[in-house]
Chains A and B, each alone.
Chain A
Amino acid sequence: MNPSFKLILALVISLEITFTNHLGGNLIIIAAALTYLIIKRVAWKKLCRLLLITLIPAAALFMTIGYFSPERDLFFAWVLVSRLYCYVSVGAAVTLTTNKLSLIRSLEQNCHLPSKFAYGFLAALNLIPRIKQNVITIRVAGQMRGVTLHWWSPTLYFKAILSAIAWSDQLAQAMETHGFKEGAPRSAAQVIEVDKRDWLTMLLILLIIQIVIIALP
C-alpha cells in the first residue's frame, strides 16, 4: 500500500478511537493490525518489546480508573487499555513496515509536500549517526575537564545545537551548489505511484472501521 495512505489511515484510526469508547471495536482493530504485522513478517522481538512496554502506561490507567477513581468503572478502564494497544499496534503497522525514504518520497510526490521540506528532512535523517557520535563526544569532552553533562544540562543542548546549526548551513550550501533550487520543478529518481487499488483499499478499510466503531453495538 502507498506509504502516505498508510500514514493517513493510521492517523484517522487513532483520532477516531480517541473520541469513541468502543471496547469490541478497539479489539478488532488491534487484531487486524497485529495480523497485518505478522503477514508482513515483522521481527518478533520488536513486536513483543512494544507490546510489553505498553503494559506500563496501560496498567497505570487501568488501576487508577478501575480502583482509585470515584466511579471505579472497570469497563471504561478496559476501553482505555485497549485504546493504548490500538495506538501502538496501528503505529507499528506503519513504522515497522514502511521505510522512511519511500514515505518521504511519497509525501513529496503524492501529497505535494514542498520538495525543500522533503529533501531537508532526508538530509537531516542521514545525519542521525553523526548526531549520536556528536553527543557522545560532547559528554566525553566534558568529562575530560571534570564536568559531567547530564541530560538536563543546558550546556549539552547548547553544544549539540551549535553543531546542528553548522551542519544545516553546510548541508544547505552543499545541496545548493549541487543544483538544488527551492520551488523549482523536479523530476523524481524513483516514482511512487498511487493506483486505483490504493484508493480502493483505503476507502474499504475506512468503511469497515466506521462499521466496526459506530454500527456494531
Chain B
Amino acid sequence: MHKRTFHLRDIILLALIAIIFGVIYYAAAFVYNGLTVLLTPVGYGPIANDLTMGIWCMAGPLAGFLLRIPGSSFLGEFLGAAVEMFLGDQWGASNLISGAVQGIGTELGFTLTLYKVYNWLTVILTSVTTTIITFAWDWFRNGYSHFAPSMLVIMLVARFLSMLVFSGILVKLIVNLLTRAHVIRS
C-alpha cells in the first residue's frame, strides 16, 4: 500500500467523526457521574473513570480503521476531545491534554502494526497501548501514587476491560459493518 496523506475529504470526515463522538463523550460524562455517585460512598469512586474510559477512546481506533492514514487515529481522538471541551463538560481544559494522551495511546496500537494489519490483533494492541498510556497520565493527574495498591490493580483491570469492550470490540463491530458495506478497503 502506498503512503497516503490527508486530503480535504479525509479531514472533513475525521472532523465529522470527532463531532459524533464528541457528543457521545459529552453524554458519557453523565454515565460517569452516575457511577461515581454510586461508588464514592464505598471508596471506589475513581473506578468510575476507568469503567467509562473505553467510551472516551472510541473515536481514535475508529478513525484509524476507517482512514488508515498514519496520524488519523490521533487526530480523530484529539478532535473528539476538543469538541467535548467546547460543548462544555466538567473536565474543561484538561480535555485537550487527555485527548492528546488518549490519541497517542490509540495511535501507538496502529504504529506497532506499521499500519499494515487491520484485524482483531490491532484491536487488542490499541486496547493495551491506550490502557497503559492513559493510566500513566492519570497516575499524575489524579494522584494515583496515593491509592492503595489493591485498588490500583482493580482500576487497571477495569480500565482494560472497558477499553476492550468499547474502543475495542464495539469499534470492531462498527468497522465490520462498514467493511461489509464496502466503504473500507479491506
Q: Which residues of A contact B (CB under 8 A)?
A: 10-11, 13-15, 18-19, 46, 50, 53-54, 56-57, 59-61, 63-65, 67-71, 73, 76, 79-80, 83-84, 87-92, 94-96, 100, 116-117, 119-121, 123-125, 127-128, 131-132, 135, 151-152, 154-155, 157-158, 160-162, 164-165, 167-169, 171-172, 175-176, 180, 182
Tell me how far the C-beta of B174 lies from the nearest C-beta in chain A, rounded to whole angstroms.
Answer: 5
Tell me how far the C-beta of B45 lies from the nearest C-beta in chain A, rounded to whole angstroms.
Answer: 3
Q: Would you mind naming 9 contact pairs between A and B with Cβ atoms under 8 Å apart?
A: A14-B97, A56-B37, A63-B41, A65-B143, A87-B94, A100-B86, A117-B6, A131-B16, A172-B9
User: Which single member of A54, A76, A120, A124 contacts B90 (CB below 8 Å)?
Assistant: A54
Residues of B within 8 A of A67 (CB): 43
Tell me how far the C-beta of A37 lies from the nearest C-beta in chain B, rounded to whole angstroms.
Answer: 12
Q: Is the CB of A124 within 8 A of B40?
A: no
* Given contact pairs A53-B33, A154-B176, A155-B177, a sample of 6 additional A-B residue pairs in the complex whose CB atoms are under 8 Å apart: A53-B29, A76-B146, A92-B92, A124-B12, A157-B62, A157-B174
Tell me how far the C-beta of A101 lies from the nearest C-beta in chain B, rounded to whole angstroms.
Answer: 12
Tell me how far the C-beta of B38 lies from the nearest C-beta in chain A, rounded to whole angstroms.
Answer: 10
Q: Is the CB of A124 within 8 A of B93?
A: no
- Cα–Cα, bound, A88→B84 (Å): 12
CB-contacts of B39-76 with A (<8 A): 39-41, 43-46, 48-49, 62, 66
Residues of B within 8 A of A89 (CB): 92
- Cα–Cα, bound, A158→B85 (Å): 25
* Complex: chain A residue closest to B177, CB-CB: A158
B96 part of interface (Cβ distance < 8 Å): yes
Q: Which residues of B contact A (CB under 8 A)?
A: 6-20, 23-24, 27, 29, 32-33, 36-37, 39-41, 43-46, 48-49, 62, 66, 79, 85-86, 88-97, 140-143, 146-148, 151, 166, 170, 173-174, 176-178, 181, 183
Q: Is the CB of A91 within 8 A of B146?
A: no
Residues of B within 8 A of A123 (CB): 12, 15
Q: Is the CB of A64 within 8 A of B174?
A: no
Residues of A within 8 A of B89 (CB): 53
Evaluate whether A73 and B146 lie within 8 angstroms (CB atoms) in the complex, with A50-B90, A87-B93, A151-B24 already known: yes
Main secondary structure of the interface of A (DSSP, over half): helix
Residues of B within 8 A of A57 (CB): 32-33, 36, 49, 90
Q: Is the CB of B36 within 8 A of A95?
A: no
* Complex: chain B residue closest to A132, CB-CB: B23
Q: Is the CB of B13 within 8 A of A95?
A: no
- Cα–Cα, bound, A131→B87 (Å): 15
Q: Is the CB of A69 within 8 A of B88?
A: no
Q: Is the CB of B16 within 8 A of A95?
A: no
Residues of B within 8 A of A169 (CB): 9
- Cα–Cα, bound, A6→B9 (Å): 29
Q: Is the CB of B45 within 8 A of A70?
A: no
Q: Is the CB of B46 within 8 A of A116?
A: no
Which 10 A-B pairs have CB atoms at the shortest separation, nearest pair first? A91-B92, A60-B45, A120-B11, A68-B43, A124-B15, A91-B93, A88-B92, A168-B13, A172-B9, A87-B94
Residues of B within 8 A of A168 (CB): 9-10, 12-13, 16
**Best-surrounded residue of B33, B45, B85, B151 (most CB of chain A within 10 A):** B45
Q: Is the CB of B13 within 8 A of A164?
A: yes
Residues of B within 8 A of A69 (CB): 146-148, 151
Residues of B within 8 A of A176 (CB): 8
Tell me how far the C-beta of A78 lies from the nearest C-beta in chain B, rounded to whole angstroms.
Answer: 11
